[in-house]
Amino acid sequence: MSTTPEVSASADVAPAAHRKVDMQQFGIMLALAIIVVLFEIMTGGRLLMADNVASLLQQNAYVIILALGMLMIIIAGHIDLSVGSVVALLGGIMAIAMINWNLPWPVACLLGIVAGLLVGAWQGFWVAYWGIPGFIVTLAGMLLFRGLAIVIVGQTIAGFPNGFVQVANGGMLGWFGFMGSMDIFTLLIGVVATVGFVFSQFRSRQRLLAHGLSVEPQGLFFGKLIAISVLVLAVGWILSLSSIGTPYVLVICGVLVLAYSFVMSNTVFGRNIYAIGGNIAAARLSGIDVRRSHFLMYVNMGFLAAIASIVTTSRSGAAVAAAGQNFELDAIAACFIGGAAVSGGVGRVVGTIIGALVMGVLNMGLSIMAVDAAWQQAIKGLVLLAAVAFDMLQKRRGAAA
């Protein structure tokens, strides 16, 4: 898809256009680091306490999960405003299945996933086969599914099985014993994740060079490897000191991130999404089934909304009709902060995860500081506006160049 000019395999300096994309990613990572340091100072060192880091991952896992699906939709030039309402509805369905119908919690979760797929198919049908803009379809869905959530969850439903509650509140602690006060299994997870990341980055770079494509300068490449490796190892070390070790939700998010990174980078479906967002007319002329792609994107969004609902309902220990409020805004903000273009066609899973972490750190830091909820919303709104403004500025500079 890239229009970046090809250079010889021996070239070590990428063209200016390629460097801008890389520098945008570095800018996002730098912004995350600054926010973390700022809140660590403002909270008196409480932000990076072991149990607080574990809580940050548990409380904000829904942002990562929903942002993965939202990224696909935004790249294709659409939006989904209904995911918060869908999370509430599916949480109510699973709660009724467990409490009223006495179904085992894994079966109730499977039922919620099936319902999520049906919701996604419903919205995808109107977008793909009737041509109604995704904004309108999901705006209607936001109202429809919130109303249904209020109908089926007339009052708070609680008393879930312990296994279900542990999904978002438990972790893998003491599996391989302890080294002092540190959980060995969590430390190993951090090391394995770091080695896997470094290996994948080197393999990707070699593949680009083998095809004569441009790559980022060695200095930037190794700087990125070192920065992210240190971050992963630091998180593993901090979590090894927590009371739950490796949170289950971290494993869920890790598996999803790996899966969707592969889908977006190495499958026909992922390439089709970028092609549709870049130029839908050209995509049709090239033989891409645009309607099928649109339909599958929304079905996928329904699936991820179900996973997010499982995590959210488990974390709170109860199903309420008001669950999922503003979840769609957090997911959309994570995508745009992570570098997704407003006009579509541009976006990366790595950037989106960093954007989700920015939103998570903001949520956690502001909560620790006991900032009023209204001000929290205002601050997150300003951050989103700044991210979109930065995207527009980058495009204008690119056009001028």
What CATH number corresponds to the domain at position 88?
1.10.3470
At 6, the pLDDT band (50, 70, 90 cuts) reads: very low
Is 238 among the domain residues?
A: no
Is 133 among the domain residues?
A: yes
Contacts of 95-99 spanning 24+ positions with Cβ under 8 A: 95/153, 95/157, 95/160, 95/313, 95/318, 95/319, 96/152, 96/157, 96/319, 98/160, 98/161, 98/164, 99/157, 99/159, 99/160
CA distances from 41 to 35, 68, 97, 368 (A): 10, 31, 45, 12
Report the C-alpha dihedral over residues 108, 82, 324, 112, rounded to 10 degrees: 0
How many residues are recorded in the chain?
Answer: 401
**H/E element holding 318?**
strand 318-319
Reported as a single tens digit per residue, the pLDDT across 15-46 is: 343 444 455 667 777 788 888 888 899 888 88
The residue with greater pLDDT, 191 or 8, is 191
29, HSE (Cβ side, Cα atoms, 13 Å):
19
Is 289 among the domain residues?
A: yes
Is 202 among the domain residues?
A: no
> Got the DSSP string for 18-55?
HHHHHHHHHHHHHHHHHHHHHHHHHTTT-TTSHHHHHH
The residue segments making up the domain with residue 330 are 60-170+246-391
Three-state SS sequence of 169-224 = HCEECCCCCEECCEEHHHHHHHHHHHHHHHHHHHHHHHHHHHCCCCCCCHHHHHHH
Low-confidence winner among 100-104, 308-312, 349-353 (lowest mean pLDDT): 349-353
| Per-residue pLDDT at 296 | 97
Residue whose C-alpha is closest to residue 325's, from 122, 61, 56, 62: 62
Token readout for 333 is 């903000």
* Number of domains the chain is built from: 1
At residue 304, the 3 state secondary structure works out as helix
Is 160 among the domain residues?
A: yes
Tell me the C-alpha distance between 278 and 301, whole Å: 21
| Per-residue pLDDT at 148 | 96
Tell me the C-alpha distance between 313 and 320, whole Å: 9
| Per-residue pLDDT at 389 | 77
Q: What is the mean pLDDT of residues 102-115?
A: 97
Most confident by average pLDDT, 279-288, 301-310, 349-358: 301-310
Angle at 60 between CA 57 and CA 64, to 5 degrees: 95
Reported as a single tens digit per residue, the pLDDT across 260-279 is: 999 998 899 999 999 999 99
| Per-residue pLDDT at 401 | 63
Is 346 among the domain residues?
A: yes
Angle at 357 between CA 382 and CA 300, to 5 degrees: 100
Residue whose C-alpha is closest to residue 249's, from 173, 171, 322, 318: 171
Contacts of 365-369 spanning 24+ positions with Cβ under 8 A: 365/35, 365/38, 365/39, 365/42, 365/43, 365/47, 368/39, 368/43, 368/46, 368/47, 368/52, 369/39, 369/42, 369/43
Q: Which residues is 183 bridged to in the sheet?
A: 178
Radius of gyration of the chain (CA): 21
**H/E element holding 294?**
helix 290-316
Is 191 among the domain residues?
A: no
Is 51 among the domain residues?
A: no
Q: What is the mean pLDDT of residues 141-155?
A: 94
SS3 content of the chain, % helix, strand, coil (to 5): 75, 5, 25
| Per-residue pLDDT at 371 | 85
At 377, the pLDDT band (50, 70, 90 cuts) reads: confident
At residue 246, the 3 state secondary structure works out as strand
Contact 172, 248 (CB under 8 A): yes
